[in-house]
Amino acid sequence: MPIVLDGSQGISTPMYAGSITSNPVTPSVNMKNRIINGNMTIDQRNAGASVTPTNDAYTLDRWQVNISDNSKFTIQQSSTAPAGFKNSLLVTSSSAFSLAAGSYFVLDQKIEGFNTADLNFGTANAQTVTLSFWVRSSLTGTFGGVLRNSAENRSYPFTYTISSANTFEYKTVTVAGDTSGTWIGATNGVGLYVGFGLGVGATYSGTAGAWAGATYASATGATSVVSTNGATWYITGVQLEVGSTATSFDYRNYTTELQLCQRYLPAFNSANTFDYVGFGFTTGTTNAQMTFQYYVPPRVAPTGVTNSTASNFLFYYGPASHTVSAFTFVGGGSRMSIMNCTISGGPAGGTSGVLFANSATAQLLFTGCEL
Partner 1 sequence: MIYRLYIAGYQQTEPNAAMTIGVTPASSFLFAPENPDYQAFKTNVLAGAELQDADGNVMTQEQANQFVGGLA
Q: Least distance (Å) from partner 1 to the CB of residue 52?
A: 15
Q: Is 306 in the site for partner 1 (CB under 8 A)?
A: yes
Nearer to partner 1, 147 or 277 (CB): 277
Pick the stretch among 18-26, 99-107, 122-130, 360-368 that binds partner 1 (CB under 8 A).
Answer: 360-368
The residues, any chain, with a CB within 8 Å of residue 63's CB and separated by 6 or more, are 37, 40, 89, 107, 108, 109
Rule CB under 8 A: choose which of 69, 118, 169, 370 binds partner 1: 370
Nearer to partner 1, 290 or 305 (CB): 305
Nearer to partner 1, 262 or 312 (CB): 312
Pick the stretch among 73-81, 115-123, 326-334, 352-360 that binds partner 1 (CB under 8 A).
Answer: 326-334
Q: Is 300 in the site for partner 1 (CB under 8 A)?
A: yes
Size, binding site for partner 1 by CB under 8 A: 24
Q: Least distance (Å) from partner 1 to the CB of residue 274?
A: 21
Largest CA distance in the chain: 79
Nearer to partner 1, 209 or 304 (CB): 304
Rule CB under 8 A: choose which of 116, 239, 262, 307 binds partner 1: 307
Rule CB under 8 A: choose which of 230, 331, 333, 349 binds partner 1: 331
Rule CB under 8 A: choose which of 14, 56, 153, 202 binds partner 1: 56
Q: Least distance (Å) from partner 1 to the CB of residue 31?
A: 25
Q: How many other C-beta atoms are found inside a 10 Å radius of the C-beta of residue 49? A: 10
Nearer to partner 1, 231 or 365 (CB): 365
Residues 175-194 that bind partner 1 (CB under 8 A): none
Nearer to partner 1, 107 or 225 (CB): 107
Pick the stretch among 80-88, 134-142, 180-188, 296-304 that binds partner 1 (CB under 8 A).
Answer: 296-304
Q: Least distance (Å) from partner 1 to the CB of residue 54?
A: 8
Q: Least distance (Å) from partner 1 to the CB of residue 370?
A: 8
Q: Is 330 in the site for partner 1 (CB under 8 A)?
A: yes
Three-state DSSP string of the chain = CCCEEECCCEEECCCCCCCHHHCCEEECCCCCCCCCCCCCCCCCCCCCCCECCCCCCECCCCCEEEECCCCCEEEEEECCCCCCCCCEEEEEECCCCCCCCCCEEEEEEEEEHHHCHHHCCCCCCCCCEEEEEEEEECCCEEEEEEEECCCCCCEEEEEEEECCCCCCEEEEEEECCCCCCCCCCCCCCEEEEEEEEEEECHHHEECCCCCECCCCCEECCCCCHHHCCCCEEEEEEEEEEECCCCCCEEECCHHHHHHHHHCCCCEEECCCCCEEEEEEEEEECCEEEEEEECCCCCCCCCCEEEECCHHHEEEECCCCEEECCEEEEEEECCCEEEEEEECCCCCCCCCEEEEEECCCCCEEEEECCCC
Nearer to partner 1, 15 or 326 (CB): 326
Instruction: Tell me which residues touch partner 1 (CB under 8 A).
Output: 56-57, 300, 303-310, 326-331, 339-340, 363, 365, 367-368, 370
